[in-house]
Chain A
Amino acid sequence: KAGVTQTPRYLIKTRGQQVTLSCSPISGHRSVSWYQQTPGQGLQFLFEYFSETQRNKGNFPGRFSGRQFSNSRSEMNVSTLELGDSALYLCASSFGGMATYEQYFGPGTRLTVT
C-alpha cells in the first residue's frame, strides 16, 4: 500500500504571496490532518478534514485554510505569507479520524518564506 504523499517537498515563496500544499492519504483513509512544525513553536495541529468536512481546528489565523476532495486528497492554503510561516508542514492520514489512535504521516513539505 502506498504511503502518504505530499507535494511539493520543498517550496520557496516571497512574503505576501500565497501557497497551496497537497496531501494524498493512504488509500481508504478518510481523514487528513495538517500540522506545522517550527523550531520555535514545535509541532502544532492546524486542522483535520474527514469526508470533505473540517472536523477539528487548531489555533491558527484564518490565513490558513484547507479543503478535502471526494477522493480524500487534501490541500492546505496559506494566504499572505509571513516570514514566520516558514516551517515543515506535515499531513497525516487515518481511517477513522482523530478518534482512532494511529495516524500515518507524510514526508512533509518544507516551506521557506523570504
Chain B
Amino acid sequence: AQKITQTQPGMFVQEKEAVTLDCTYDTSDQSYGLFWYKQPSSGEMIFLIYQGSYDEQNATEGRYSLNFQKARKSANLVISASQLGDSAMYFCAMREGTGGSYIPTFGRGTSLIVHP
C-alpha cells in the first residue's frame, strides 16, 4: 500500500489565488513527521514546511500552510496568493521511525501551474 498518496497529478491556478494540494498518508507509528517540498524544473528540492504528528497547531511558513487532519491522515498544503514562480512539482513526504532510525517516504508529486 502507498504510504503517501497525492491524488492530483496536475493542478492549475490563477495568479494571486489560493490553491490546495492534497496529501494523505498511512502509518501505524504514533510519532512521525510530514513534509512538503517544491521541485522546480531545475531539479533541486526545496523544503517548504514541516508538521510533527504531535503538533496541535497547523504549521505555517509565509504563504504556505499545512492543513493537518490527523484523524483523516491528511496533510494538505495550502499556498495563498499564488505567484508565477510557484509553478513546480510539489512532493509530500513522511518520516517514520524513532530512536535515530528514520526512513522517509515521498508521494508521486503534484505538478502545479500558475497562470498569469
Residue B42 interfacial (CB < 8 Å)? yes
Cβ-defined contact, A104 with B47, below 8 A: yes
Cβ-defined contact, B103 with A101, below 8 A: no
Cβ-defined contact, B102 with A42, below 8 A: no
Q: How far is the CB of B17 from chain A (nearest CB, A)?
A: 28
A88's closest neighbor in chain B, by CB? B43
Residues A108 and B47 in contact in the complex (CB < 8 Å), given A42-B107, A56-B102, A101-B35: no
Q: How far is the CA of A104 from the CA of B46 in the complex (A)?
A: 7
The one of A33, A48, A99, A107 that contacts B43, using a Cβ cutoff of 8 Å: A107
Q: How far is the CA of A98 from the CA of B103 in the complex (A)?
A: 8
Q: How far is the CA of A99 from the CA of B52 in the complex (A)?
A: 11
Q: How far is the CA of A106 from the CA of B107 in the complex (A)?
A: 19
Q: Which secondary structure dominates chain A's binding surface?
A: strand
Q: How far is the CA of A101 from the CA of B50 in the complex (A)?
A: 7
Cβ-defined contact, B45 with A90, below 8 A: yes
Q: How far is the CA of A98 from the CA of B47 in the complex (A)?
A: 14
Cβ-defined contact, B104 with A42, below 8 A: no
Cβ-defined contact, B44 with A98, below 8 A: no
B45's closest neighbor in chain A, by CB? A105
Cβ-defined contact, B33 with A101, below 8 A: yes
Residue B62 interfacial (CB < 8 Å)? no
The one of B33, B95, B106 that contacts A44, using a Cβ cutoff of 8 Å: B106
Q: Which residues of B contact A16 (CB under 8 A)?
A: none
Query: Could you mark each residue 13-52 of chain B with 1 if its beta carbon is under 8 Å from any beta carbon of chain A, else 0?
Result: 0000000000000000000010101000011111100101
Question: Can you give 25 contacting A-B residue pairs, CB < 8 Å?
Answer: A42-B106, A42-B107, A42-B108, A44-B106, A48-B102, A55-B101, A56-B101, A56-B102, A56-B103, A88-B43, A90-B43, A90-B45, A97-B100, A98-B95, A98-B102, A99-B102, A101-B33, A101-B52, A102-B47, A103-B47, A104-B47, A105-B37, A105-B46, A105-B47, A107-B44
9 more A-B residue pairs beyond the given contacts A42-B107, A45-B106, with a C-beta to C-beta distance below 8 A = A42-B109, A56-B97, A88-B43, A90-B45, A98-B102, A101-B35, A101-B52, A101-B95, A105-B46
Question: Top 6 A-B pairs ranked by shortest CB distance?
Answer: A98-B102, A105-B45, A101-B50, A43-B106, A108-B43, A107-B44
